[in-house]
Structure 1
């Protein structure tokens, strides 16, 4: 036998040995990656621990078990089908790192505990995007976490209960959707939250921005406590107990929001202001609530250019000094206003659709003041059955007889003759009106000429 041929066969067998080991490892499941039994959730913590700092960690479709702690700046991206479920204790995911990103992941907390947390953030400068969270506890909780961005997150409470409870019903205990404590300059953008305790709650935070969110079927949609300079802009609150609750706050800006259908609960309102300073409430649409806006103990606050429509009570204000109520439209409310008159408030240039007014100057402002009449409301507060007489001729007579000049009247010294919204709509069309007038005049002249020529022909 040729010696060289024998040596070649031995060398070929030696070269095949590594390949055999690789194939055997693949068959036996010994390749790199987490090991798990069939049907058992995978460990996301193992994947996080194995990833290098600053890299992108892509999470494939699957069900992963928590708790998971992220301590380094990773970009963790799911494909929308990666689901992380809770373990026995602690947050399902805790983000302690700064400069990290969490995107495209679902989080499910099955614990029946209102104090449980689906996602806890203790770092700063992170971005949370396109997450779905189902929980009975807190959806996302921040503690001393600053300059984070939360956007396109859907948080759903797993316990369903209507917001209007009877006296015999106990409210189901739930956590807040997004909860910030001592956290500053965070941006909460374009999120959807439903069936939680409070939708978005901020306590002792400064400079946070809440924009483009929707909160439904919760207690308070947007709730501020002991915070400063928060911007609540372009949000929607519907079918909650209260659309926005601003309490013990300074410098908040509540602008361009839509608060509708907070009416199922006896204490429901679109906007509630309590013990606030330097707050701006502007360009909001507040419609179909039991109470449009309730304002108590406010200073240096401006409520302007809002539209209060189809509420049972448009505005209720008490213990208010040095504030401005101007440019608002009060349309189709059962009761327009109830207020205890205080010194130093400027109340003018609002439109009240239950007031005819008298405009001698032709400037769109009534020369007669508008005075609210709270007689019906005070009467029905004492005897609710009298609500049956709303709009009755006898009730209108009694309102005129007893309801004027009381301490609870709100007085607009210079009310508008037309709603501000109608005036704004009409202004751009002024040129069109002149064109219509000119066209009508030309048609009239042409008709006259035809008539004259017709007469001469006869």
Structure 2
């Protein structure tokens, strides 16, 4: 069989199998005598004498399914550059699937393309395209089905219903992938990276566009979303529900239909992300609904209809962020309680803060407001006069959106001056008692380059 070569490869760390075997050696040898020794040699040889299986068009092993049938745990399947029309490729062994020069796996719009059903599967360097689609079934380019310790990296996904789909899985990684589709409407499209009922998953340095939601989390715990680019998706760049204890940081979300949504969740960290250019009647940089005990820090919200929309938020720390050139920087509804909004920059926004309540039980403190007209006599960098960021006109627009056409008129200026002199309508308790005179230096991890960290690292990895 010329396409099968013996090697000493079991997993991405080629010495892993040997190391495990030697660690187990004393226990088996001395604890169980001859049986232990025999077991040791079985384990040792199974990890050490794994083999490479070469898949190439027009050879005796020309399909990936055929190679998987010939493989055993620990083997590596190397797919040569070429075009492979296959679907429902089931990986039920702990193997590696490695592409050379990005071989193309074309599902021909029929069904799932790859289904992973074994732990410890590693996939790298392939093109997965043209999965099937269905309104009754979530069909994917690559599906992780109740598995652990699996990875897909440095691969490309084009025109799939769901690109990468993880269900009931844990300790898996999806990184350095390019995921693109051309979804036309929400009902006939799936998500780029979709997780359901998973834990300890890492989603890192992927570029996702053209799907319904770029990244989707539902019932996902203790997972990380790091340094991804998610843009030009029909609905959300990131859609996040019932998922506790997760972190997303250093991501770039832009030009998504409705921005990013985090809902019905607690204990989430949102740090060093950029939310930009999300415009529309129902578009937000970040939508927070019924979340609690979470952190939103060092993010940039720029040129969104609404920077952050907060509904039912409890015990949130919204600190050290920058809100730049948004329609509304913050919309904080009356059912938000015990939230801390401190040390943020509000620059060039049409409205800095809007609310639908006459009472606020949230803390605003130490923020920089470019509209602040106070003074600092003792030169400590803190304004000597408190600042009320809610304007009367913003409350009028909240109740009657059609009045927005009066925005640049002298009537609005007169209303706001009158309300500041004798506050009646704006919330008396929504006030920053220590406004910063100077813009606050909030560290930003992602540059203004819209191709950002993820694209550069994906390209570099190739």
Distance in structure 2 (CA, Å) of the matches to 1:419 and 1:229: 32
Distance in structure 2 (CA, Å) of the matches to 1:110 and 1:279: 37
Contact 1:107–1:118 (CA under 8 A) maintained in structure 2? yes
Contact 2:141–2:160 (CA under 8 A) maintained in structure 1? no
Distance in structure 2 (CA, Å) of the matches to 1:118 and 1:46: 19
Contact 1:321–1:342 (CA under 8 A) maintained in structure 2? no
Distance in structure 1 (CA, Å) of the matches to 2:400 and 2:373: 30
Unaligned runs of 5+ in 2: 1-52, 445-462
Q: C-alpha offsets along residues 250-295 of structure 1, whole Å, 9 cap, x if unaligned?
A: 11000000110001x2111111111011110000011000001111
1:125 CA displacement: 0.4
Q: 130, 137, 140: which is aligned to 1:117?
A: 140
Contact 2:384–2:434 (CA under 8 A) maintained in structure 1? yes
Cα gap change, 1:56/1:110 in structure 2, threshold over 3 Å: closer, same or farther?
closer
1:117 CA displacement: 1.4
Distance in structure 2 (CA, Å) of the matches to 1:365 and 1:348: 10
1:109 CA displacement: 1.9
Distance in structure 1 (CA, Å) of the matches to 2:56 and 2:121: 26
Distance in structure 1 (CA, Å) of the matches to 2:102 and 2:62: 14
Distance in structure 1 (CA, Å) of the matches to 2:379 and 2:196: 53
Give runs of aligned pairs for residues 187-226 of structure 1, distance below 5 A.
187-218=202-233, 219-226=235-242
Q: Pick which of 374-383 and 252-261 moved more.
A: 374-383
State the structure with bigger RCO (CA 8 A, min sep 6), 1 or 2. Answer: 2
Cα gap change, 1:342/1:56 in structure 2, threshold over 3 Å: closer, same or farther?
farther
1:273 aligns with 2:288: yes
2:118 is matched with 97
TM-score, scaled relative to structure 1: 0.78
Give runs of aligned pairs for residues 42-441 of structure 1, distance below 5 A.
42-64=62-84, 65-86=86-107, 90-113=111-134, 115-122=138-145, 123-159=147-183, 161=184, 171=186, 173-218=188-233, 219-263=235-279, 265-318=280-333, 319-339=335-355, 340=357, 342=359, 344-381=361-398, 384-402=401-419, 404-408=423-427, 410-421=430-441
Contact 2:129–2:157 (CA under 8 A) maintained in structure 1? yes
Contact 1:250–1:277 (CA under 8 A) maintained in structure 2? yes
1:405 CA displacement: 3.7
Aligned residues between the structures: 381
Aligned residue for 1:388, secondary structure, equals helix
1:246 CA displacement: 1.0
Cα gap change, 1:205/1:104 in structure 2, threshold over 3 Å: closer, same or farther?
same
Larger radius of gyration: 1
1:391 CA displacement: 2.6
Give the root-mean-square deviation of aligned CA atoms. Answer: 2.6
Aligned residue for 2:396, secondary structure, equals helix
Unaligned runs of 5+ in 1: 1-31, 162-169, 425-458
